Amino acid sequence: MRSSLPSLLDGLLGPRDHGRVLVTGWFSFLDGEVTAGDALAQRAVSGALDTLEVFHDTAWSPGFAPGALTLDSAVPDDYGHLLFVCGPLHGEQIAALHRRYASCRRVAVGVSVIDRADPAVGGFHRILARDDPEGGVRPDLATAAPTTLPTPLAGIALTHGQGEYRERRCHDSVAATVLPWLVGKDCARIDADTRLAHGDWRHCGTPDQYLSLLDRLDLMVTDRLHGLVLGLRAGVPVLAVDPVRGGAKVTAQARLLHWPAVLPGENLGVELLDHWWDWCRSPDGTAAARHRSEVLARASAEHTSGPQDGPER
C-alpha cells in the first residue's frame, strides 16, 4: 500500500467520537479458522491503531484463544466502529456481523471482494480490498505486520510402535505427556519422523533429505534412537525420552555419546521436560550438541564404525 497503514485506517474509520474499535475477522468466528496470515494481519492493524492511539479490542474464536474476548461477549453498544480484517467477504457469518453491530460504522480492510452484490460486502460502509475485480490489487496486510524475535524450530519424532518390548512399553504414556506439553512451548513444531517413504509427501524419501531437515532444526524432541543419534550428528540439541521401562537402546546410545538430556519414560514429568528443554536451548546445550557432532565427524573421517568405548568428552 502506498500510504502507511495508520494513515489509511485513519481515513477509513472517519470520526471516532463514540466508543472503541472492535477488530474482527474470520479468526473471530467459532466456525471460522485462524491462519498465520489472519493473525499477522490482525497484528498489523492492531499496531496501526496503537500508533493512532485508538482504543480497540480484538474478538477471537474461543476455540483458538480460550479466555479472550469473543463476539458473544463484545457488546455492540460499547463500540463505535467494527473493523473486519483479512479474508474473503462472503457468507452468513459476515452478514450476521452487520446485523449484530448495525449501530457501528463497519469497515473492511485487506479483504478479498468476490461478488459486490453479496450482502456480506454491501453491509460495509467502507472497504479497502487487497483484491477486487473493480478496485485492483493491494499488498496483503500480513506483509505489514511488525517482526518479532524468531521462535525455535523443534523437530518432533515419536513412535507408537516397538511392540517387541511388550510389557516394558510406555510409548503411549510418553506421547500423552510430551505432546500436550509441547503445545505450551513457544516454538515452531515440525514432524521429524525418522521413517522414510517414497509415496507420502509428509515423509522424507531419502536419508539425505532427512539429514537436510535436521540441519535446519534448533532442537529435537524424540523417543527414537535415530532421532537422538542423527540429531546429535547434525549438531542439534536433543531432548530424548526412553519409552521403554528400565531403559533400552535410547538410554544406551545416550550414555555412549555422553549425552545428558535423556529421560526415563516411566517417570516422565513436565518439570523434567522443562528443565532439559531449557538446557537444550541454552548456550551450554548448544555447545554440547555441536561438540558431539564434531566428535562423530572425526570418528567417521577416521573410517571407524563409531566409538567403541564412548566418544571423547
| Tens-place pLDDT, residues 215-269 | 999 999 999 999 999 999 999 999 999 999 998 899 999 999 999 999 999 989 9
pLDDT of residue 313: 46
Topology (CATH) of 153-301: Rossmann fold (3.40.50)
pLDDT digits (tens, 9 = 90+) for 273-296: 999 999 999 999 999 999 999 999
Question: How many angstroms separate the Cα of 184 from the Cα of each of 60, 157, 179, 180, 270?
Answer: 19, 17, 9, 7, 11
State the pLDDT at residue 268.
92
What is the per-residue pLDDT across 55-109, written as a single tens digit (0 to 9) for each?
999 999 998 888 899 999 999 999 999 999 999 999 999 999 999 999 999 999 9
Q: Which of 59, 37, 47 is nearest to 9 (CA)?
A: 47
pLDDT above 90: residue 165: no
Q: Which residues contact 7 (CB under 8 A, 6 or more apart)?
A: none
Name the segment(s) of the chain with CATH classification 3.40.50.2000.
Answer: 153-301
pTM higher than 0.75: yes
pLDDT tens, 77-88? 999 999 999 999
Alpha-carbon distance 124 to 95, whole Å?
Answer: 10
**Helices within 188-236 (DSSP H only):** 207-215, 225-233
In this predicted structure, the answer to whether residue 162 has a pLDDT above a threshold of 80 is no
pLDDT interval class at 132 (50, 70, 90): confident
| Contact (CB, 8 A) for 106 and 123 | yes
State the virtual CA torsion across 152, 153, 154, 155 in degrees, nearest 10. -170
> How would you classify residue 196: left for phi > 0, otherwise alpha for psi between -120 and 50, otherwise beta?
beta
Averaged pLDDT for residues 148-160: 90
Confidence (pLDDT) at 309: 53
Could you tell me which of 169, 224, 232, 152 has the C-alpha nearest to residue 192? 224
C-alpha angle 159-160-163 in degrees, rounded to nearest 5: 110
Residue 262, C-alpha cell as written in the block: 535423556
Contacts of 207 (CB under 8 A, 6+ apart): 196
Q: What is the end-to-end Cα distance of the chain in Å, rounded?
A: 56
312 pLDDT above the threshold of 80: no
pLDDT of residue 2: 46
Of 9-23, 109-123, 175-189, 237-251, give the lowest mean pLDDT range.
9-23
Q: According to CATH, what is the number of the domain 5-144?
A: 3.40.50.2300
Q: How confident is the model at residue 149 (pLDDT cuts 50, 70, 90)?
A: confident
pLDDT bracket for residue 1 (50, 70, 90): very low
pLDDT at residue 147 is higher than 50: yes
pLDDT at 198: 86
* pLDDT tens-digit readout, 43-52: 999 999 999 9
Beta strands in the chain (DSSP E): 20-25, 56-58, 79-88, 105-112, 126-132, 136-137, 153-157, 188-191, 219-222, 238-242, 262-264
Q: Hey, what's the cell of 243?
A: 519409552
How much of the chain exceeds pLDDT 70, in percent?
94
**Range(s) of the chain covered by CATH 3.40.50.2300:** 5-144
Based on its alpha-carbon atoms, the radius of gyration of the chain, rounded to whole angstroms, reads: 26
C-alpha cell at 174: 510418553
- DSSP SS3 for 274: helix
